[in-house]
Amino acid sequence: MIRLLATDVASMADVAAQAIEVARRIGADHAVASASAQAGVRVTGRDGATDAALRDAGQGLTITVYRGARAGTASTAALDEHAITEAVEEAYAIAALVGEDPDALPPALADMAVDTPLPPIDAPSGCDVASLRATAMEGDAMLRAASRPGVRVETVTSGVSSSEGVHALATSAGFCRGQSYSHHGLWLVALARDADGAVNDSADSFDRRFDRLMSAHALADRAVARATGQLGARAVPGQMAPVLFEASVATALIGSLVNALSGNPQQRRATFLPDALGRTVAAPHLDLHEDPFEPFGVASGGFDREGIAGSRRAILSAGTVKGLFLGTRSAGRLGMRSTGNADGPWNLTLTSRTDRGSFAELCQRMGRGLIVRRLEGGAIDPVTGNWTHAVAGTWVEEGIPVHAVADVTVGGNLRDMLNGIVAVGDDVERRGAFSTGSILIDAMQIGGAA
């Protein structure tokens, strides 16, 4: 097996332990160090040739050093003894300059994931540059072959990547653990051109296992359908109408909910869902489940950057909030315990207990409204929940898509949107930590031509 990475967990654990030792020597009361290294190959191509072949390599150490309840953090990409010492000394100097924060002290060893199981997340591809190049060229050829009379399809990018990494965490309390992981991706960006103009759109697939990526063929079909489907797009009149968020963009709504339920916004009340625990904030048919231990899950892991394990749990049960996303500091301020989410959410899946269906069935159920296929720029006010985005999509009449839509905005308040979810599709897509099918919302404001 070809490995891209020249280091391993033990070496990174050594680096982290070395930094802890320096911290202890210069008088720190506590210290937390994480060391990591990544390596990968990326190839992009277009128009029958390689665009770029890249060898990525990165490494780093981050150390937080405490003087009592004052903390300073430093990081370094150089891992020699001199750089490690410089980083630790800088962190220690910073700790003298900042205010006390007792809630930010590192957790006790008893609360840490000292011997919990680690989910498998490492599956090196064994691919060399030549095979990755062949895959990129295959995707490129498939896109270009999709040209038809009156519509030319070009490749903006056909890309493939394979990478590996290791990370290790050590603390002055005695924690020292690490894990290897892999991450692979395939992405295609197609440009469709007709007499009236050009549009582009993409399709991609990311996984910890190279052989679980979607095929170049399936991705090319999807990218071409998305791009050609947007040709001739036009605005629709401003109005209130139901909106069906395609699964790949519906994940963004989960992201907004996760942010609202996260420790920092919760403890600072900078969220449209203050005091959320126990409150019903979404339609009562919805469940949101978190699983840190899913084998080869994109957001799986044995512990967060503070060394605390997550758990399999309900975040939403029947629309009611059962869990927040907390690290040690925000948990302390809320009088709660860390949920092992210092790095954010683990794998999350949104499901409906009662209102499911295929994408076509959701279109039928919508009747007349807008399918949102792409979110362009916009604004989300985390405090008020006001949500506005420019979008691209398709207008639907009597359950049938009738024309592509652009130059419109969709607006609403996240509070209403979460309660207004009437169905979740079976067409489940995964974007990073989030999995969901398409989401149908009963009514939103469409801002379009007068």
Looking at the Cβ atoms of 53 and 314, the one nearer to another protein is 53
Burial 222-236 (b: 16+ CB within 10 A, else e): bbbebbbbbbebebb
Q: Site residues for another protein, window 3-62 (CB under 8 A)?
A: 41, 46, 49-59
**289 and 315 Cβ atoms separated by less than 8 Å:** yes
Residue spans of alpha helices (H) in 193-344 = 216-229, 247-260, 263-268, 328-334
Among 235, 277, 336, 443, binds another protein (CB under 8 A): 235
Q: Does 129 bind another protein (CB under 8 A)?
A: yes
Among 388, 401, 427, 443, binds another protein (CB under 8 A): 388
Report which residue type is found at 316.
L
Distance CA 423, CA 371 (A): 14
Q: How far is the CB of 13 from another protein (least distance, A)?
A: 19
Q: How far is the CB of 72 from another protein (least distance, A)?
A: 5
Torsional sign, CA 422, 388, 379, 247: positive
- What six digits make up the tokens of 121? 């997340």
Q: Does 105 bind another protein (CB under 8 A)?
A: no
Residue 81 gets which letter from DSSP?
Answer: H
Per-residue x/- marks for another protein, 259-278, CB under 8 A? ---------x-x--------
Query: Applying CB under 8 A, which part among 105-113, 179-187, 409-417, 430-438 lies near another protein?
Result: 409-417
Query: Applying CB under 8 A, which part among 117-125, 140-148, 291-299, 371-379 lies near another protein?
Result: 371-379
Distance CA 407, CA 446 (A): 11
Among 10, 109, 145, 383, binds another protein (CB under 8 A): 383
Looking at the Cβ atoms of 9 and 235, the one nearer to another protein is 235
Looking at the Cβ atoms of 52 and 109, the one nearer to another protein is 52
Among 32, 87, 216, 247, binds another protein (CB under 8 A): 87
Looking at the Cβ atoms of 317 and 388, the one nearer to another protein is 388
Q: Does 408 bind another protein (CB under 8 A)?
A: yes
Torsional sign, CA 298, 301, 305, 309: positive
Among 118, 166, 199, 236, binds another protein (CB under 8 A): 199
Which secondary structure element, helix H or strand E, spans residue 88, and what is its range?
helix 81-97
Strands 369-380 and 356-357, bridge-based pairing = unpaired
**65 and 87 Cβ atoms separated by less than 8 Å:** no
Query: By CB neighbour count within 10 A (0-12 exposed, 13-18 middle, 19+ buried), where does 297 fall?
Result: buried
Distance CA 48, CA 144 (A): 9
Per-residue x/- marks for another protein, 291-320, CB under 8 A? ------------------------------
Query: Applying CB under 8 A, which part among 138-146, 169-177, 193-201, 284-292 lies near another protein?
Result: 193-201
Q: Site residues for another protein, window 51-80 (CB under 8 A)?
A: 51-59, 71-79
Q: Site residues for another protein, window 150-189 (CB under 8 A)?
A: 154, 156
Distance CA 123, CA 211 (A): 10
Q: Does 377 bind another protein (CB under 8 A)?
A: yes
Q: Does 86 bind another protein (CB under 8 A)?
A: yes
Q: Does 240 bind another protein (CB under 8 A)?
A: no
